[in-house]
Amino acid sequence: MSASVLYEAQGPRAKARNVVYTAVFLVAAAVLLWWVYSSLKEKGQLDWAMWSPFFGSESWTTYLLPGLQNTLLAAALSLVIALPLGAVLGIARLSDHAWVRVPATVVVEFFRAIPVLILMVFCGEFYYLYTGVSSDSRPLYAVITGLVLYNASVLAEVVRAGILSLPKGQSEAAMAIGLRKSQVMRVVLLPQAVTAMLPAIVSQIVVIVKDTALGGYMMTFPELLSSATTASSFYGANIIQSLTVAAVIFIVINFALTSFASWLEKRLRRAKKSTGVTLAPDGGADQSAFAAPGV
């Protein structure tokens, strides 16, 4: 249902009312912004000296870019590992054999129920106590393991929902022509499900990128957010400014990813070859009760 059916075409009175609402809203926003601006200025947070380091190349090459590289590295590695793992778990949950289905279900439900931060803290200590991973790469390993365990479970649900979203006739027809169960999955169901799942997968990348920041503050993983903090201890404790810069970088990356996801979704909807079904990136209610990644 499109938004416009919720109200009548606007007559002169409604338009006048709109202008009033807009004005009130604008004034409220302006007052709030002015208060923030003037308080920040009064506290010296807007002084050029606090911001200037981030407009030179030094701060970027020393702190921000290495941090960004670590963020992207952790996110990319997590995705590359979590994707196949999630696919396997998702398919296993659809298995006809209880001994495959039940453990997969338990694993998926378990890791979806536990906070990523707790997983990371646990993994970090686990690697320290029981493995020979050097202290350099331990935070990276812990962050990636935590992200993989959680996101593989979420992606498993995406895969499962994607396969279930296909018309039943697809697998029935495939079985009717004599394909084995594994062939039905590999040749018929998965290729179609992948197109339906792509937007949901892309938007899950946003979640992964955001969650790497958990590793920075609690796990001493030198990702973007924590290297911005290191920068702030050098540039005179301009922590608000460093955090703002880090936030802007996160928004730019993730906005590019979400835009890509919605472009992909539109594209897939129009493509004739697919079933036309896509999983909504978040909220996920396009086909009602799908797994809702993206929070």
The interface with another protein within residues 218-257 (CB under 8 A) comprises 218, 220, 222, 225, 229-230, 232-234, 236-240, 243, 246-247, 250-251, 254-255
Please count the CA atoms within 13 angstroms of the CA of 78 that sit on its side-chain side. Answer: 35
Which residue's CB is nearer to another protein, number 88 or number 175?
Answer: 88
Amino acid, res. 262: S
Smallest CA-to-CA distance from 157 within 218, 91, 212, 227 is with 91
Task: Choose the stretch contacting another protein; rule: CB under 8 A; options: 95-103, 110-118, 165-173, 177-185.
Answer: 110-118
CB atoms within 10 A of CB 262: 13
* Collapsed DSSP state (helix, strand, coil) of residue 278: coil
Which residue's CB is nearer to another protein, number 163 or number 206?
Answer: 206
According to CB under 8 A, which one of 16, 18, 84, 187 is a site residue for another protein?
18
Q: Say if CB 193 and CB 162 are below 8 A apart.
A: yes
Residues 263-292 that bind another protein (CB under 8 A): 264, 267-268, 270-274, 280, 282-286, 288-289, 291-292
> Is residue 214 part of the contact set for another protein (CB under 8 A)?
yes
Residues 142-181 that bind another protein (CB under 8 A): none
Which two structure tokens, joined as six digits, stand for 236? 């005179």
Which two structure tokens, joined as six digits, stand for 148? 């993989």
Q: How many residues bind another protein (CB under 8 A)?
A: 111
Separation between Cα atoms, residue 172 and residue 178, nearest integer Å? 10
Minimum CB separation from another protein for residue 178, in Å?
27
Residues 51-80 that bind another protein (CB under 8 A): 58-59, 61-63, 69-70, 72-73, 76-77, 79-80
Which residue's CB is nearer to another protein, number 88 or number 133?
Answer: 133
Minimum CB separation from another protein for residue 87, in Å?
14
CB atoms within 10 A of CB 55: 10
Task: Choose the stretch contacting another protein; rule: CB under 8 A; options: 89-97, 127-135, 162-170, 173-181.
Answer: 127-135
Amino acid, res. 24: V
Separation between Cα atoms, residue 220 and residue 198, nearest integer Å? 32
Give whole-number Cα distances, 238 to 47, 63, 228, in Å.
10, 14, 10
According to CB under 8 A, which one of 64, 116, 159, 163 is a site residue for another protein?
116
Minimum CB separation from another protein for residue 49, in Å?
6
CB atoms within 10 A of CB 3: 6
> Is residue 88 part of the contact set for another protein (CB under 8 A)?
no
